[in-house]
Structure formats: C-alpha cells, structure tokens
Structure 1
Amino acid sequence: MSSASATLAVWSSAWLAGTAAPDDVLDALAPWSEAHDVLAADDASAVATELPGPGAAPTSTAMLLAAVRRGAPRGQARVVLPAAGDVRGLPGPGPFSEEAMVAGEGVLFPDAGFGVVPAPIADGVVRWSVHAVPDPGPVPEYVPLNDAERELRAQVRNAAAALTDLGVARHRPGVREEIAAALRGRPQALWPAGMPPQALRVLQQADEVDAILSAAAGDEPGGALSATAAIARSDALRPIAAAVRVARRAAVAEAVRVLVSVPRH
C-alpha cells in the first residue's frame, strides 16, 4: 500500500532516469484515486513552476511531470513522511512543510525547486498542491535498508505484543481478522519492474505493521480502555509508528537509487 507520495517519488525518478515512460507514472497513480489534478498553492509557486495557481482551473499530473522535467531533467524525487515530533526530510518551516505535516506525506523534487502534497478534495479526486521550495534542506540521514528492515521486524514483534499487553485483542476478539480485512481493502500500489525485492518486502512489512497500529489505535477510551490506559497505549505504539516511517523512507530511497542507476536502453 505505502502511499501516493511514495508511488510518485519512485516512478517519477525512474521516468527522469529514462527507465519508465510518463504514462507509466500516471498509471501507477491510478490505484490511489480515480482522478488526480494539480494546482500551484500560491502565485509565487505558479510562476516558478509554470503551473496554474489559485483561482485558475487545475491541470493534470502530466503537466506536473512536464514541470519536473523543465526544472530538473535528470533529477530525483524524495518522499517525506512527517508526523508530530518527526520532521525528518522536511526542508524547514514553510507552506510545503506545513501541508505535508497535515497530510503525513509529500514529495520533494530538490533539483527542480518544488514539492507536492496530495490530498483528497472530493470523492474519487486527489489534488496535488505544488509549492516552491527553493531550499530543500540537507539530504536526510542515510538509513541502510538492512537496518530499517531489522528494526521493523523487531517492531512487528513489539506490535503483536502491544496488542496483547494493552488488551486490544481482548476487548475486540476479531481484531486480527479486522487487520487482514484492512490490508485487503487498501490500494495495491504498482511498482516498476526493476524495483529491488528487498525494498518491496520492507514496504509490505511496513503496511502490515501500519495495519496493526490502526487496529490498536481504533480502540477508543471510554469503554474498554481508561484514559490512563489509552495514554500508555499511545506511548507504546509511538516508536512502532516511527519505525514504519523510517522503513518506508529507506525503501523508497533504495528503490530510487537502484532505478536511476539502471543503464538506459
């Protein structure tokens, strides 16, 4: 499942490297929504990217790719997955960072000087808001995929234990079936043929842990859980959620690295 931003980061990087076609990028976004449109978030971003701004009719993701190509013909994309207390990868204070924090995701095109954030605006429609980001900030700390996968596996065990220790499974006997159903109901991301197997495996594991987190967080206080127990649950699950974000970022970064290094045919 991962995220729409991860999909765009991987596929657009492969396209810029010449290992994917623009239609491949657009097709890969289809599982996330029936329709996608693009609009610059403000007038300055519209001028910088040559995309329609506030008050104008939105354009297509094909035009977004054209803007990326104009800004950085051989650039690479970077996914950001921020959360409260975890701003790794964000360029610093500004509209892009603020909107990405709300959405929990976004894509930076550092060489092109802008970033995009997806958000649903209507049933079956996702809008990609484009923000000028003249200073993308430092490259995030490199996390080896082996380390991210090892930590995620440890957190899989922690997540399972947390369900038991926090009483979620006891209060909702069908929680494991709920997790399996949630995974089946999520969008099935499409990835390039050259996607490294380990990156795929880590993304799948991250989705599984994320589903467990969603099930655990869904047991609201007031009935089975007291307010104190709910706080304890939140504290126990926070490092697991952080490991999921780290694993997803590491998997996307590794996929981009591998895909852009494939020789052109």
Structure 2
Amino acid sequence: MSCPSATLVVWTSAWLHGAAAADDVLDALQIWAELHEVVADDDGTATALDLPGPDEMPAAPAMLLAALRRTQAGDGRLVLPVPGDTRGLGGNGPLSATAVRAGQAMVLPEAGLGIVPRLVADQVIRWTVFDHPEITPPEHIPLGEAEHALAGAMREAASTLVDLDVARERPNVRKDIESVMAAQPTPLWPAGMPARSLRVLQRAAEVAAILEVAAGDSPGGAMSASATRGREEALRPLLDAVRRARCAAVDEAVRVLGEHANKSR
C-alpha cells in the first residue's frame, strides 16, 4: 500500500529527470481518484506559480507539473506526519497543520514548496500547494536500516496480536487482514522502479494491515478507554516503523530512478 503523495513524489521525480512523460504522471494518479485538481494555499503563492488561488476555480494537475518545471523544483520527498511529529515540514504553520490532517505530503525543499492532497468529494482529490521557504529536507533514512526495523515490526506486530487478544476477539483475523490488503489500491510505478523499494512498500502494507486490524474495536462491543489507550501505546512504535519504511522506500526509488535517467543521457 502507498498513498497519493508517494505516487506524486516518485512519478514527478521520474518526469523531471526525463524518465517519464507528463501523461504518465497524470495516469498514475488515477488509481487514487478519477479527478485531481490543484490550488495554491494563498494568493501570493498562486501568483508566483501561476496557479489558481484558494477562492478560484481549481486547475488541472498539468498546471502543477508546469509550475514545478518552471521553478526547477528538484526531487520531491515523501513526508508522513502525525500529531507531534511534523519533521520535514518546516515547523508549525498551515502546511504542517494540513499535512497532519491528511497524514501525508510531498515536499520540495529546493523550491520551498509543500503539496498536500485532500479528498474533497467522491473520486475527487484536491492538491493544495504551499510556499514555505523554511522547509528543511526530512531526515534521510537508509533503506537497509528501515527494512531491518520493519522486519522487527512485523515480528512485533504478530506478537502484539497475541498480547492484545486480537486473535481471540476476532476469530477470522487472517481474513480481516486479507480484506484490508485487498481493499487497497495497487499503484503504478515507473519502469526501473527498484525491486527493493517495492519489497519494502509491500512489507509495510502487510504490517499496516495487521496493525489496522489490531487497532480496531473487538466485535460485539466498544473497548474501555484504558484498553483503547493501552492498545494505541502498544501499536505506536510499529506504526512509526511503517511510516519510516515507506518514506525510505520512496526516497530510494527517487534516487535510483534519477541516477538511471542521468546515466542514460
């Protein structure tokens, strides 16, 4: 499982390096929604990037690609923020607040831009562009380190299911996990997408599915407040490992695709 921001990061980076066409980027986004639209967060950003402002009719995502080309934006980075952890978003502000609500963002540190998707209607995603010069690149996480941590998280997730009595509460827990996995979109990736990144994204999806089932209320009744808190505390480190693995996998994909494109020139 991935997310719209991961798709945009990987495909726009491939496109900016000449390894994909603009239509390829737009086609890859269709897995997440039938319609994508773009606005700037404020009028100043709208003027600078030649995008519609917050009170204007949204533009097609092709205008966003054109803006990134004009600004020589450089490679994007995936950020998956949660309350209390907004690293890579340049501190507090509209970008951080919006990204935390969405749980994701694409940042372009060289251009000082952040882009956050939001589902505004059925099958409609609106991408809001923020001008934020204080953006600092997110922490680089080596893929090997993230993969190792994720492997540990997979073992811990299985143990957590037992400790939290999820298997007893949900007799069909395996089917529940399979259902969560089956419900997730299958993103398209550029040619040359590194196998290791794909493997880590897949493993992250598997752990996330286990944790989603583990986090759910037991069938037949709501959990007590103390039980809910205990469950959240037990799962939080595992969720962090999933976030870190996804960001590391996307970073590695951007690096590899960019290197391959540069060598082929």
Q: How would you bin the TM-score normalised by the shorter chain?
A: over 0.9
Q: Residue 174 of structure 2 aligns to which amino acid in structure 1? A: R
For 1:252 and 1:264, the matched residues in 2 are separated by 21
For 2:26 and 2:170, the matched residues in 1 are separated by 40
Aligned partner of 1:242 among 225, 240, 243: 240
Residue 141 of structure 1 deviates from its aligned partner by 2.5
Residue 222 of structure 1 deviates from its aligned partner by 9.0
Q: Residue 206 of structure 1 aligns to which amino acid in structure 2? A: A
Residue 251 of structure 1: aligned partner? 249
Question: For the Cα contact (< 8 Å) 2:169–2:219, is it kept in 1?
Answer: no
Q: Residue 230 of structure 2 aligns to which amino acid in structure 1? A: A
1:206-262 alpha-carbon deviations (Å, 9 max, x no partner): 111111111111116993743322221111100000000000110111111111111
Residue 48 of structure 2: aligned partner? 48
Is residue 84 of structure 1 aligned with residue 75 of structure 2?
Answer: no
For 2:228 and 2:204, the matched residues in 1 are separated by 23
* Farther-moved stretch of structure 1 (88-97 vs 157-166): 88-97
Question: For the Cα contact (< 8 Å) 1:206–1:248, is it kept in 2?
Answer: yes
Q: Residue 18 of structure 1 aligns to which amino acid in structure 2? A: G
For 2:115 and 2:220, the matched residues in 1 are separated by 38
For 1:4 and 1:178, the matched residues in 2 are separated by 24
**Runs of 5+ in structure 2 lacking a partner?**
none
Question: For the Cα contact (< 8 Å) 1:145–1:254, is it kept in 2?
Answer: yes
Residue 140 of structure 1 deviates from its aligned partner by 2.5
Question: For the Cα contact (< 8 Å) 1:113–1:132, is it kept in 2?
Answer: yes
**Runs of 5+ in structure 1 lacking a partner?**
none
Give me the TM-score of the superposition, normalised by structure 2. Answer: 0.95
Give me the TM-score of the superposition, normalised by structure 1. Answer: 0.95
1:97-153 alpha-carbon deviations (Å, 9 max, x no partner): 11001100010122223111001000110000111122212x232211111101101
Question: For the Cα contact (< 8 Å) 2:153–2:241, is it kept in 1?
Answer: yes
Is residue 4 of structure 1 aligned with residue 4 of structure 2?
Answer: yes
Residue 113 of structure 2: aligned partner? 114
For 2:241 and 2:129, the matched residues in 1 are separated by 28
For 2:138 and 2:112, the matched residues in 1 are separated by 16
Are residues 209 and 81 of structure 1, via their aligned partners in 2, closer, same or farther at CA, if it must alter by over 3 Å? same
For 1:224 and 1:54, the matched residues in 2 are separated by 40
Q: How many residue pairs were aligned?
A: 263
Q: Which secondary structure does the structure 2 equivalent of 1:148 belong to?
A: helix
1:56-115 alpha-carbon deviations (Å, 9 max, x no partner): 111011111001001116x11111100122222222122111100110001012222311
For 2:229 and 2:108, the matched residues in 1 are separated by 38
For 1:35 and 1:217, the matched residues in 2 are separated by 31
Residue 193 of structure 1 deviates from its aligned partner by 1.2
Q: Which secondary structure does the structure 1 equivalent of 2:221 belong to?
A: coil
* Identity across matched positions, percent: 55
